[in-house]
Amino acid sequence: MSIFGDLNKIEILGNITQDPELRYTANGTPVTNFGVATNRSYKSGEEWKEEVTFHNIVVWSTDAEMLTQRARKGTRIYVQGRIQTRSWDDNQGQKQYRTEIVAERVILLDRYDKSPSEELKQKNGVSTNEPSKNSQPVKELEVESETKKDEDVIDPDDLPF
């Protein structure tokens, strides 16, 4: 019996490089592709240097739909998944390759959602175009009724967790 096996697993933590756009396959399955940038600092002699690596991410199904509604360029994100390389022939007959991370788990680490509190901020003229820098994972808020008064809406930034 062999205890050796294969493993294809990756985890990254970085920032989304462009707004995710939702598309659908021919059979109606939601999918989104976007980039994530990760940074690495290292010392070379007496000088600190920065290195940025860009990763192609693919998210499928309901995760793709949620992500396109709640994430934007600059959103801090954790992605866990597997590496995949696809190939195809372009219009000139040249073989093209793309290596990407197929996401199995995605956690948004910044808030960017159209929750009732965000809509209230927009009504009051507060800009919500940029994701706020919050190290807590985003939690879903359930609203009991659309007829709630604005003062009854809980602002997620006021929550202690």
User: What pLDDT does residue 110 have?
Assistant: 79
What's at 150, amino acid-wise? D
Burial of 89-121, coded b for 16+ CB within 10 Å and e otherwise, reads eeeeeeeeeeebbbbeebebbbbbbebbbbeee
Q: Domain 7-109: which topology?
A: OB fold (Dihydrolipoamide Acetyltransferase, E2P) (2.40.50)
The SS3 assignment for 150 reads: helix
Please, which residues have CB within 8 angstroms of residue 67's CB and are 6 or more apart in sequence?
20, 32, 59, 106, 108
User: What pLDDT does residue 5 have?
Assistant: 84
User: What pLDDT does residue 73 have?
Assistant: 93
Task: Please state the domain extents for the chain.
Answer: 7-109, 113-161
Looking at residue 154, what DSSP letter applies? P
User: What pLDDT does residue 41 have?
Assistant: 93
Is the pTM here over 0.75, yes or no?
no
Matching residue, tokens 């202690």: 160
**Residue-level pLDDT, tens digit, the chain, 161 residues:** 567 789 999 999 999 999 999 999 999 999 999 999 999 999 999 999 999 999 999 999 999 999 999 999 999 999 999 999 999 999 999 999 999 999 999 999 976 554 545 545 544 554 444 444 444 444 332 333 333 344 445 555 555 54
